[in-house]
Amino acid sequence: MKLLLTSGGITNDSIRAALIEMLGKPIEESDALFIPTAQWGQPMCSPQTVWQSTADRWPGATGLCGLGWKSVGVLELTALPTIDRARWEAWVRDADVLLVDGGEAVYLARWMRESGLADLLPSLTDTVWVGVSAGSMVMTPRIGDHFVDWRPGEGDETLGVVDFSIFPHLDYPGWTSNTAEAARRWAATIPGPSYAIDEQTAIAVVGDEVRVISEGSWEHFPRP
């Protein structure tokens, strides 16, 4: 699977170009599935925010679903255990890209495991995963207690598909808990390497190659 891990989505031409390169064809010729599941675990989200993301109605922003795809469907992971696996697995395999919205990463990891999607990921070698915030963090080993909003104190472990962690929304306007200094304090609690990225930055992972794509600000915190 090819990963495009973002903080705020496809926010500039550089990130968009990376997405098209990963797809190997234009966005207009690509079929997408949108996964809103992480929002249900985030106390700041609601049925209204899920609708805004799905309908691409966030004020002043173009969301994942509004990029001009050939087709977009919704894949709700909490429903998958009640559906025949052959049915939903065909939907996933037919998609060129999975668009994974933000919310709460530990909650999303739980439903990726419970639904069976996590087990399917290694076989999706040509599929592109585009994550926003928690949709990116879920692919890391840990998110740090700073970002656990669903059942705090019960662990911050996520899927560990990549070997680094992500601090999203770096220096986001009005978010005093997401300053560069806060990111450095957070990184000190993470046992492995990590990145802090802002809304204009993405991390592309293809095979063993990890590449930062940015028209904004980011910081890398290496570990031995």
CA distance 40 to 56: 18
Binned at pLDDT 50, 70 and 90, residue 174 comes out as confident
Host domain of residue 65: 2-221
Q: What percent of the chain has pLDDT over 70?
A: 99
| Residue range 68-84, pLDDT digits in tens | 999 999 999 999 999 99
Q: Which helix (H) or strand (E) holds 135?
A: helix 134-137
CA distance 140 to 15: 20
CA distance 207 to 5: 14
Report which DSSP code applies to 79: G
CA distance 127 to 144: 28
Q: Count the Cβ atoms, other than its own, within 10 Å of residue 209.
A: 7
CA distance 79 to 158: 20
DSSP string, 4-72: EEESSSS-SHHHHHHHHHHHTS-GGG-EEEEE-GGGGG-TT--HHHHHHHHTT--TT---GGGS--SEE
| Residue range 113-157, pLDDT digits in tens | 999 999 999 999 999 999 999 999 999 999 999 999 999 888 999
| Residue range 6-32, pLDDT digits in tens | 999 999 999 999 999 999 999 999 999
Report, as an integer, the average pLDDT of 170-175: 92
Structure token pair of residue 224: 């031995």
Asked whether the beta carbons of 164 and 210 are under 8 A apart, the reply is yes
Report, as an integer, the average pLDDT of 168-196: 95
Report in angstroms the alpha-carbon separations of 138 from 67, 111, 118: 23, 11, 10
Q: What's the pLDDT score for residue 223?
A: 79
Q: What is the pTM of this model?
A: 0.96
Q: What's the pLDDT score for residue 153?
A: 86
Q: What's the pLDDT score for residue 224?
A: 61
Any idea which residue has 């530990």 for tokens? 106
The total domain count for the chain is 1
CA distance 52 to 63: 9
Q: What's the pLDDT score for residue 122?
A: 96
Residue 123 belongs to domain with CATH number: 3.40.50.880
**Measuring CA to CA, which residue among 61, 11, 58, 4 is closest to residue 30?**
4
| Residue range 36-68, pLDDT digits in tens | 999 999 999 999 999 999 999 987 777 899 999
Q: Count the Cβ atoms, other than its own, within 10 Å of residue 132.
A: 27
Q: If you average pLDDT over every residue of the chain, what do you get?
A: 96
CA distance 81 to 40: 17
